[in-house]
Amino acid sequence: MAWWNVFVTTKMVDAAADTIKTGASMLDNAFFTEQERSAAMQKFTETWLSIQDKIASENSLSSITRRILAYMIMGTFLALVVFACLIWRLDQAWSAYVLKVLAETQIGVLAVAVGTTYFVFYEYRKTKNGANK
């Protein structure tokens, strides 16, 4: 066993202990408890809302362009859905084709993304500021 002492020095033992301690703390940080997860989500939400507040308060050309694009995307999606519903009585195949175009172009996903990031935030802001009372 004397040959084992050649490979194991105090410095190597300390390095191994530090490595094990670092690995254990990394493993502990990899998993959230419910309380830590809710605190992280609250911080993320506050950060997101502050960014949205700054974006909403600007009234530059890019802000106006974003607003126009949001209305165009939502208008196109809603117009096609209403159109498909209206023509369903007249021609079900044509209605099915319009709905197929909506599904294949993924405009619904885009409309949901724009709706949640643009319109839902503005309603939240109006409610927060007391405009909807």
In angstroms and rounded to an integer, the radius of gyration of the C-alpha atoms of the chain is 28
Q: How far apart are CA 99 and CA 117, in angstroms?
A: 24
Rounded mean pLDDT, 59-84: 81
Confidence at 25, pLDDT banded by 50, 70, 90: low
Q: Over range 8-28, report the average pLDDT.
A: 64
Give the residue from 129, 115, 81 showing the smallest Cα distance to 101: 81
Q: What is the mean pLDDT of residues 39-61?
A: 76
Q: How many angstroms separate the CA atoms of 112 and 74, rounded?
A: 9
- Quick check: 74 pLDDT over 80? yes
Q: Please answer whether residues 73 and 109 qualify as being in contact, where contact means their C-beta atoms are separated by less than 8 angstroms.
A: no
Mean pLDDT on 11-33: 65
Whether 114 and 87 have beta carbons less than 8 Å apart is answered as no
Of 83, 70, 75, nearest to 113 by C-alpha is 70
Q: What is the average per-residue pLDDT within 11-35?
A: 66
**Could you tell me which residue, 69 or 30, shows the higher pLDDT?**
69
